[in-house]
Amino acid sequence: MSNLLLYGQTAGIAAARRAGVLVGLGSDWSVSGSKGLLGELKAARLAADARDVGLSDRDLVAMATRDAARILRWEHTLGSLQPGLRADLLVTAHTSGDPYTALVKAVDSDIRLVVIEGTARYGTRDLVKAAAPQATVEAVPSTRADERVVHLHEVNTDPIVAGLSLAEATRRLGTALAARFVALPIWHPCCNCR
């Protein structure tokens, strides 16, 4: 998305695929692009359709998972669901039809569960507790009716963040950002003054 907005184009995916080049899809920065990979999947779907590249939704999901891992030479650690690999999973609300299309169409509010390295870390309270019954969870501030929780606690956590709640981390980050941006002078390009 960022490349499309800033430059009006993105990588030549069709040519790369014809040449046998493995292509990965990842998120850029949220200032000019999508705020996450779900948005990038949608942008890639639209760009592929506009250029008639011939990518299926399964191809797009592979570019964000298995193929990206292969590019980094991490395919023996992650990128697919296999015994012995790190299990990162995303469960969304839509379960009928093609699972790849459902994922490409999913939005943040469709996320029901995120599992990182086999540990439930985010999702609806009922799914996180079902996957990790002993987990200490904390509600994510939201106006949504269906509450989301995070499970941040880890046995081997770095002492710097051990015991740090989401609320406290949010407060600290807000304070630090406010102090940083309030102190910055404003430059006016029209008169080159501050």
Find the largest Cα–Cα distance for the chain.
Answer: 63
pLDDT digits (tens, 9 = 90+) for 115-156: 988 889 999 999 999 999 988 898 888 767 678 999 988 777
Cβ atoms 137, 129 nearer than 8 A: yes
Higher pLDDT, 96 or 109: 109
- In the chain, the number of structural domains is 1
Q: Does residue 142 form part of some domain?
A: no
Amino acid (one-letter) located at 1: M
- Asked if residue 130 belongs to a domain, the reply is no
pLDDT at residue number 180: 67
* 14: exposed, middle or buried (Cβ count in 10 Å: 0-12, 13-18, 19+): middle
How high is the pLDDT of residue 182?
56
Residue 173 lies in a domain: no
Domain assignment of residue 60, given as a range: 1-82
Say if 51 falls within a structural domain: yes
**Surface-to-core class of residue 156, CB atoms within 10 Å of its CB (0-12 exposed, 13-18 middle, 19+ buried):** exposed
Is a pLDDT exceeding 90 seen at residue 75? yes
Residue 49 pLDDT grade (very low, low, confident, very high; cuts 50, 70, 90): very high
- Residue of 50 and 164 predicted with greater confidence: 50
Tell me how far apart the alpha carbons of residues 50 and 176 are, in angstroms, rounded to a whole number.
42
pLDDT at 166: 85
Q: 37 near 28, Cβ under 8 Å?
A: no
Which residue intervals of the chain are DSSP H helices?
2-7, 13-18, 37-50, 57-64, 66-71, 99-105, 125-131, 166-182
First to last CA, the chain: 33
14-26: average pLDDT: 91
pTM of the model: 0.78
* pLDDT(190) > 60: no
pLDDT at residue 179 is higher than 80: no
What gap in Å lies between CA 147 and CA 139, rounded to an integer?
7
Length of the chain (residues): 194
For 145-161, how does the pLDDT look when each residue is reduced to its tens digit (9 = 90+)? 678 999 988 777 787 77
Separation of alpha carbons 81 and 123, rounded Å: 20
Cα Rg for the chain, rounded, in angstroms? 20
Q: Is the pLDDT of residue 89 over 60?
A: yes
Q: Find the helix packing angle between 37-50 and 57-64, rounded to 10°.
A: 140
